[in-house]
Structures are given as structure tokens and as C-alpha cells.
Amino acid sequence: MKRVITYGTFDLLHYGHINLLRRCKALGDYLIVALSTDEFNSKSKNKSCYFTYEQRKLFLEAVRYVDLVIPETCWEQKKTDVHEYHVDTFVMGDDWTGKFDFLKEEGVEVVYLPRTPEISSTKIRKDKTPKNFRGD
């Protein structure tokens, strides 16, 4: 079985996230999502989330491409996770290109996938009304 892992906050889950998860799952048989905890987001990423860790975890567990959700509590855990979960492929968005190449030394394939350009959680937060909102 080929295992794939990806990391993220996944707040305000949207079709860009689903697209990423679908492409991750296509690279293997079993997809692990390391979901940033609320504490990690606030202390290390300087992010505050609309949804709590438990709510975001529930959303991800409902996505058919996701097999397991684990907590991401620090930047350094990636090296440990690839061994603990017997990961074959590590996947991140292409805005992280090169930053995790050190995992290749752990025997893991590292893949950077293009983001869905027209959507992001940041964009959703900034928009006052959803695209195509009719209001009826």
C-alpha cells in the first residue's frame, strides 16, 4: 500500500482544498492529512481559524479522499511522521516548493502540487459575498 501525507490548516474548507486532497489521494492508496492544531496555528503560524481544530478535523474526515487525520503540532514533526506512518509520498502546495526537499533523505518522494489559483481561504475571508450569490 502506498501512503501519502499532506499538511495544512484547512480552515473554511473549499473546492481548492478538495481538489488538493483528490490529487494527493491519486498519488497513492492511503491519504493521511496532518491538520494544524489551534495552538500551532496561533503560536507558530500566526493564524487564527474560523473553525476549531475539532470542527476542521470533522470536515476532513467526511471527505472521501481522506483516510486518516492526525494533529500537526510543530514544524519539526514531518520527519518523524514519515517514519511513524510509513509514508511513501509527501505532498504540499507549490508555494512551498523546495522547503521540504530534506525529506527525500528519509526515503520519501516529495511532490509540490499547483494550487487552485482562483480560490483560497484568505480570499474567502476578504470577500463580502460568495461568488454567484443571488440572495433569494
47 has catalytic annotation: yes
- Go through 48-69 and write b for each residue having 16 or more CB atoms within 10 A of its CB, e for each that does not: ebebebeebbebbeebebbbeb
Helix extents (H) in the chain:
15-25, 38-44, 53-61, 77-84, 121-126
From 2, 25, 43, 47, the catalytic residue:
47
123 has catalytic annotation: no
Q: Say which DSSP state 46 is in.
A: -
Q: Confirm if 60 and 69 have CB atoms less than 8 A apart.
A: yes
From 2, 43, 45, 99, the catalytic residue:
45
Cα(110)–Cα(136) distance, integer angstroms: 46
Residue 91, strand partner residues? 6, 111
What residues are labeled active site? 45, 47
